[in-house]
Each structure stands twice: as structure tokens, then as C-alpha cells.
Amino acid sequence: MMKDIATPIRTKAILEKYGFSFKKSLGQNFLIEPNVLTRIVDHAEVTEETGVIEIGPGIGALTEQLARRAKKVVAFEIDQRLLPILNETLSPYPNVKVIHQDVLEADLKTAIEENFHDCKEIMVVANLPYYVTTPIIMKLLEEKIPLKGIVVMLQKEVADRIAASPSSKDYGSLSIAVQYYTEAKTVMTVPKTVFVPQPNVDSAIIRLLVREKPQVEVDNEDFFFQIVRASFAQRRKTLLNNLVHFLPNGKERKAFIEETLAEIKIDGKRRGETLSIEEFALLSNTLTK
């Protein structure tokens, strides 16, 4: 069995060999604790029938653990300096393909068709760069890629926001956007001490299982998310106030918004954070009529 990449000694040796220096702008924090990596793979329930998309493989620490269990791993790496390192560290694993591209610009549907046609299911598993966590998750969900689920490490505070329930301080438009498409659960927290360099915050691993159909039925998805964003635009303001000020043509439609809220028995004096996703769907569907 190969020595794991994710040990402090091996990581240090690889970085020194290639004279690699971390780029803060790319949010590079490499894991140096193999047990955390195996638990990520466990939570993703990766089997020999799974195709895995990884984002930001770094020097291949998580990629290696995925490759040992998955049918195929396709990893997107933006940093050209890591390509020769990955070429070496992942050479024992013929089922890995590294694509040098920013995943936010990638055509993931085509990548899936080309690489995973013989896989039964597709998972995204990654230690995400903190500065682009939300755009990456939303791309994966909004593009309706045929995924079974997403298991990613991210900043603990972002994980808390994604998995939050109504009326909690972390609940917001991100919670609703992600829970609309998936069942979200934080499965473990990870201390900052298991990374090099150490980040300033603790991390968490969140598991998002993609729903067969969205949690609520909405007549117009774009408008539903507009309503949600408007409702949280200024958290201290009432629902009515936010809708009037932050919805397109809200001021002209104030009377109609008030009538609609009365009709569906949602008190306009409530704050956006007290509404469930079902109430947002009802509000959106009634306002579009």
C-alpha cells in the first residue's frame, strides 16, 4: 500500500521537492490528516460503481483516497503549478483524470458524458476553496447536473448557513436555495489544526443529497428566488418592507403585495427569516398569478 499523501511529513516532502508556495488568492489549504479524508469518502458512500468529480485536488490527498474506492475520479484544478505534482502523486491510479480548468467555467454535463458513461452514480466530493464555495455549490445545483449528491468540506459558518432551519440566526437565502434542491446535513466538523497552512476558521463537512424533485413546487423558479433574496435583503426589516423595496416594481405594487399577504395569511410584519420554504413558495406562486 502506498504511503498516504495526507501526512505532515509526506506533504512537506512533496511541497519542498517542487518548491511549491501557497497562493492565498486561491484559498489553498491542504489536509494533513488521512483519517479526516477517509471519513469524507465514507460520508460520500463512494463505491466501485461511483464516478466522482473533485474540485481543487491540491497535491492529490483526497483524490488518492477517492481513487482507491471509486470507479473513476475527474478532478478540476485551476492552479497550473500543481499539475506536475498531481502527475507524480496520482501516477499509481489509472482511474484518475485531472483537468486543468476553473470548475466555474467548465461544461460539467459534457465532462460527465465523456467520463462517467459506465458509472451508476455521480458524486461531487471536494475540499472546496473557501472563497468560491457558494458559487460552486450553486453552479452544481442550478445546472441540474445528474448528481446523486455533494459531500464537501467548507467553512463551518457556511455549512451552518446551508443547513439552517427557519428562525435561526444562520437561516437565509443560501439555506433556502440549497435546501430547495437537496437534503442538507452537516456530518462533521474539522479543526483548523489538520490543514497546512492553517486557516483562520474551523471547517465542516456537509452532505447534500439531491432531491428527485425540488422540495416545493413553484410556478416560476427565478421569481421564487427573487422573492427569497428580497425577503432577506435587510434582515432587521419586516417582510412587507423588504418586498416593497427590493422586488422589481415593488413600490408600485405595494397594495397588491399587501393584499396577497393578507389572502395567504402571512403577516407582513414578520421577518423573512421566520418563513419556511413552503411559505416562500406559496407567496411566490400567489404573487405571480
Spatial CA neighbour of 228 closest among 194, 185, 269, 272: 272
112 with 145: CB under 8 angstroms?
A: yes
Q: Rounded to whole angstroms, how far apart are CA atoms 155 and 5?
A: 23
Amino acid in the structure at residue 167: S
221 belongs to an annotated ligand binding site = no
Sign of dihedral through CA atoms 208, 193, 133, 83?
Answer: negative
In 93-172, where do the E strands start and end? 96-100, 121-127, 149-155
Spatial CA neighbour of 127 closest among 47, 32, 211: 32
Burial of 170 (0-12, 13-18, 19+ CB in 10 A): middle
Which helix (H) or strand (E) covers residue 195, if one does? strand 195-196
107 belongs to an annotated ligand binding site = no
End-to-end CA distance of the chain: 63
Spatial CA neighbour of 53 closest among 85, 96, 6, 87: 96
157 belongs to an annotated ligand binding site = no
Q: Rounded to whole angstroms, how far apart are CA atoms 146 and 24?
A: 32
29 belongs to an annotated ligand binding site = yes
Buried b (16+ CB within 10 A) or exposed e, 86-114: beebbeebebbebeeeebeebebeebbee
127 belongs to an annotated ligand binding site = yes
102 belongs to an annotated ligand binding site = yes
Q: State the CB neighbour count (10 A cutoff) for residue 63.
A: 29
Binding residues: 29, 31, 56, 77, 102, 127
Binding residues for S-adenosyl-L-methionine: 29, 31, 56, 77, 102, 127
